[in-house]
Amino acid sequence: MARKRRTTGNPTIMDVARAAGVSAITVSRALRTPERVSTDARARVNAAIRNLGYTPDPAAQALASQRSDIIGVLVPSVTNSVFLDTMRGVYEVAETSDFRVQIANTRYSQAEEERLVRLFLHQRPAALIVTGIDQSATTAKLLRAAPCPIVQITEMGPAPFDMMVGFSHSEAARAAARHLVDAGYRRIGFLGARRDARSTRRLSGFRAGLEADGLFNAARVLFAEQPSSVPLGAAQFTELLSRDPQADAVLCNNDDLALGVLFECQRRGIEVPQAFGICGFNDIAAMAVAHPSITSVRTPRREIGRQAMTMILARLADEDPGPMVRDLGFTLIQRDSTRRRPT
Amino acid sequence: MARKRRTTGNPTIMDVARAAGVSAITVSRALRTPERVSTDARARVNAAIRNLGYTPDPAAQALASQRSDIIGVLVPSVTNSVFLDTMRGVYEVAETSDFRVQIANTRYSQAEEERLVRLFLHQRPAALIVTGIDQSATTAKLLRAAPCPIVQITEMGPAPFDMMVGFSHSEAARAAARHLVDAGYRRIGFLGARRDARSTRRLSGFRAGLEADGLFNAARVLFAEQPSSVPLGAAQFTELLSRDPQADAVLCNNDDLALGVLFECQRRGIEVPQAFGICGFNDIAAMAVAHPSITSVRTPRREIGRQAMTMILARLADEDPGPMVRDLGFTLIQRDSTRRRPT
DNA sequence: GTGAAAGCGCTAACAG
DNA sequence: CTGTTAGCGCTTTCAC
């Protein structure tokens, strides 16, 4: 009678155990808690692992230990380059570990986010990274009770589920608005792509910044349905001018839009910064090289990803993760596009 | 005596089975091959699943079936926006299914790629997507023998492991070079960021295109160490002019670089396209809006991702995946940056 | 410090 | 069409 084995042929922990003359559990311990295994046994196990080319099966590990090596990352969009920069930071650090990053796309939907959180939690992830602070009540409850580290990224908020790293979007936009006012602009518009929680908060910062001088005018605020892009910026600028031909500056929620505005100004022969001021948001590399160079709010996107993952790895290694809540701030980078000569 | 259960408390397939008055295997079948279960049993199982909020445990499924629901994607870089566009396409289609996408970064290293392929294969992925055609001999052997669908993306090549979708990079660059020649430029440079297999092939296409008229000059070919960016384009343009002050056009391996060149021309007052012609590669949205608009080679990045994943899903569902090897081609989009008035 | 036994939750194999 | 049995490869529990 043939046995009914279903194995893949890959070496298992039992193969290693036999080769090392120990039991399976000793191999397991040699791998996970080497200090609890005698030096001698450990050496033999390691040799056997190398000889056989053994790699643990993550599915079996997850099933037996009720804990997977997956770090879930929830982002609202895989299309938006802002989140991509953050993802880079996440990957950079994750690659130094054995954890696997798994991206999931909430598509700006709280319901979808909730579904994905459940899905991840069901797998007992090693940790979870979620974007922002606008989760549904149920999602919040799930995350608060989650048996793993949770990091909220990209924003700051009053009641973190666990850890948090980001910056204040409204403060950043406020600073940009003040800068435009200080530079002498008066009829300042706001261009945004698809509206989400963060762009809404930025708008409120922008508004606050202008209202201090009674300069806010809702007619100069434009949001679009589409995602952010250079062409959208050009189109929105055109729309802004049709709404207020006297508009003299704009805060763009995104650097793409700012580039589009600049190109459209060039096309129309509108002089930047003298006749029109442009301020972007995020400070992508192109801003510094554009002609004229474009003022922008530098945001620590990549660093957010790096620090989120670093905190997680520290926690998972039972080390001190440092501050659990980190406001990484922002920097207004003043450039030629708002450097108006005094009149 | 307490039982020694280690369960998470989540409902298991047994809970569903009991609630539905069937055996566990029937639940399993109702989920995976509903047509092999009686309508009656299926209905009761589905009801029980809904009542209990049951979700299968992917780790247990993977362990028992030797097949995971993970689709691995190997890309050379998570920093390069070209691959990001392809990833978008992959995600868009993957999200219509229950498979999970897992990105891994080979960092342009064949050795790393080989390690990652082994790692993935060890998990018995549902399918694997790999970038390009330059795998190590060992990697190639592993992939040819892999027990799952494999798609090579982004390039075309003679001996696909399984499926393939991309376009010819050398042909695309050749067409761009010919276009510049036809537009009347004679001292044409080539700017590239970090050199990899694809940019090397593009250079050879560029070279072939110019050599037809004896116009190729290696002194006008620049590669950098850094990844592609707008500032790099500006810097390389400066370097190109110092090498050949008479240079009259450039093919940029990347649209970022082309934008940088344009800005630097604006800064120096060099007239585009009259005094200098610029052609980009990939045709990102900004090209159409730049002033002047920039000629570029449109590449089907997103569609490559979409089709790769679509073929995989078809194969996994035992449907006809259509052509296994697909050359999606490219399109030269002629714009103002190369539209020289005849002299 | 080490091991035997008993699961983790699911599905392949074989019967009926 | 349905069920029983025996694993998948690993780790927990408890004992030595």
Task: Return the domain boundaries, chain B.
Answer: 13-64, 70-167+301-328, 169-298
HEC per residue, B15-44: HHHHHHCCCHHHHHHHHHCHHHCCHHHHHH
Per CATH, A70-167+301-328 and A169-298 having the same topology is answered yes
User: What is d(CA A293, CA A11) in angstroms, rounded to the nearest whole number?
Assistant: 59
Q: What is the three-class DSSP state of B337?
A: helix
User: Which nucleotide has the shortest C1'-to-CA distance from A40?
Assistant: C1
Q: What is the three-class DSSP state of B218?
A: helix
User: What is d(CA A164, CA A129) in angstroms, rounded to the nearest whole number?
Assistant: 9
User: Dmax of chain B from CA atoms?
Assistant: 97
Question: What are the start-end ranges of the H helices in A95-229?
Answer: 110-122, 137-144, 169-182, 197-211
- Give A280-322 pLDDT, tens digit per residue: 999 999 999 999 999 999 999 999 999 999 999 999 998 999 9
User: What is d(CA B78, CA A84) in angstroms, rounded to the nearest whole number?
Assistant: 9
Confidence of residue A2 (pLDDT cuts 50, 70, 90): very low
Virtual torsion, Cα A135, A141, A143, A145, nearest 10 deg: 170
Question: What are the start-end ranges of the H helices in chain A?
Answer: 13-20, 24-32, 39-52, 58-65, 81-94, 110-122, 137-144, 169-182, 197-211, 230-243, 255-268, 286-289, 301-316
Is A122–B55 a contact, with Cβ atoms under 8 angstroms apart? yes
Tokens of A260: 């589009």
Closest residue to D14 (CA to C1') is: B4
CATH number belonging to domain A13-64: 1.10.260.40
- Give A61-76 pLDDT, tens digit per residue: 999 999 999 999 999 9
| Apex B265 CA angle, B259 and B267, nearest 5 | 105
> Helix axis angle, B197-211 relative to B169-182, nearest 10°?
40
Using a 7 A cutoff on CB, list residues near strand C: A 2, 4, 6, 22-26, 29, 36-38, 40-41, 60, 63-64, 66; B 3-8, 10, 12-14, 24-25, 27-28, 31-32, 54, 56-57, 60-61, 63-67
What residue of A is the nearest CA neighbor of B59?
Answer: A59
Place of tokens 């934008």: B259
Q: What's the pLDDT at B10?
A: 87
Burial class (CB in 10 A: 0-12, 13-18, 19+), B288: middle
Q: How many residues does chain A have?
A: 343
Mean pLDDT of B34-50: 94
Query: Shortest CB distance from A263 goes to which of B6, B81, B289?
Result: B289
Q: What's the pLDDT at A9?
A: 79
Q: How many residues does chain B have?
A: 343
Q: What is the three-class DSSP state of B322?
A: coil
Q: What's the pLDDT at B6?
A: 66
Tokens of A29: 């311990």
Q: What is the three-class DSSP state of A314?
A: helix
| Apex B167 CA angle, B277 and B249, nearest 5 | 10
pLDDT value at B25 more than 80: yes
- In this complex, how many residue pairs, one in chain A and one in chain B, have their CB atoms less than 8 Å apart? 111
Q: Between the CA of A17 and the C1' of D16, what is the distance in angstroms?
A: 20
What count of other Cβ atoms lies within 10 Å of the Cβ of residue B52?
16
Chosen from B289, B301, B302, B309 to mutate, greatest number of chain A CBs within 10 A: B289
Gap from B241 CA to chain A (nearest CA, Å): 18
Residue A288: list chain B partners with CB under 8 A. Answer: 231
Share of chain A above pLDDT 90, in %: 93
Give the predicted TM-score (pTM) of the model. Answer: 0.93
Q: Between the CA of A204 and the C1' of C6, what is the distance in angstroms?
A: 59
Q: What's the pLDDT at B5?
A: 60
Is B59–A68 a contact, with Cβ atoms under 8 angstroms apart? yes
User: What is d(CA B185, CA B250) in angstroms, rounded to the nearest whole number?
Assistant: 9
B77-81 contact pairs (CB < 8 A, 24+)? B77/B105, B77/B107, B77/B108, B77/B227, B78/A87, B78/A88, B78/A91, B78/B103, B78/B105, B79/A88, B79/B227, B80/B227, B80/B228, B81/A81, B81/A84, B81/B256, B81/B284
pLDDT value at A342 more than 80: no
Share of chain B above pLDDT 70, in %: 98
User: What is d(CA A32, CA A42) in angstroms, rounded to the nearest whole number?
Assistant: 11
Mean pLDDT of B165-191: 98
Nearest CA to A306 out of A84, A75, A94 is that of: A94
User: Which nucleotide has the shortest C1'-to-CA distance from B20?
Assistant: D2
Is A55–B118 a contact, with Cβ atoms under 8 angstroms apart? yes
What residue of A is the nearest CA neighbor of B231?
Answer: A289
Edge to edge, the sheet with strand B188-194 lists B221-224, B188-194, B249-252, B277-282, B295-298, B331-333
- Give B83-103 pLDDT, tens digit per residue: 989 999 999 999 999 999 999
Closest residue to D6 (CA to C1') is: A4
| Structural contact between residues A268 and A297, judged by C-beta atoms closer than 8 angstroms | no
- At the fourth CATH level, the homologous superfamily of domain A70-167+301-328 is Response regulator (3.40.50.2300)
Element (H, E) at B333: strand B331-333
User: What is d(CA A64, CA B326) in angstroms, rounded to the nearest whole number?
Assistant: 43
Place of tokens 């920069």: A85
Q: Is the dihedral of CA B111, B115, B120, B121 positive or negative?
A: positive
Tokens of B133: 């055609």
User: What is d(CA B258, CA B252) in angstroms, rounded to the nearest whole number?
Assistant: 6
Chosen from A238, A289, A336 to mutate, greatest number of chain B CBs within 10 A: A289
- Give B269-324 pLDDT, tens digit per residue: 999 999 999 999 999 999 999 999 999 999 999 999 999 999 999 999 989 999 99
Confidence of residue A1 (pLDDT cuts 50, 70, 90): very low
Mean pLDDT of B310-339: 96
Which one-letter DSSP state was computed for residue B336? Answer: G
Q: What's the pLDDT at A195?
A: 93
What count of other Cβ atoms lies within 10 Å of the Cβ of residue A118?
14
Mean pLDDT of A195-213: 96
Residue B215's alpha-carbon distances to B186, B210, B341, in angstroms, are: 7, 5, 21
Confidence of residue A3 (pLDDT cuts 50, 70, 90): very low
Residue type, B220: R
User: Residue A296 pairs with which residues in a beta bridge?
Assistant: A280, A333
Is A91–B78 a contact, with Cβ atoms under 8 angstroms apart? yes
pLDDT value at B193 more than 50: yes
Q: Between the CA of B246 and the C1' of D6, what is the distance in angstroms?
A: 79
- At the fourth CATH level, the homologous superfamily of domain A169-298 is Response regulator (3.40.50.2300)
| Structural contact between residues B82 and B198, judged by C-beta atoms closer than 8 angstroms | no
User: Residue A152 pairs with which residues in a beta bridge?
Assistant: A130, A164
Residue type, B137: A
What residue of A is the nearest CA neighbor of B147?
Answer: A8
Which one-letter DSSP state was computed for residue A278? Answer: E
Which one-letter DSSP state was computed for residue A228? Answer: P
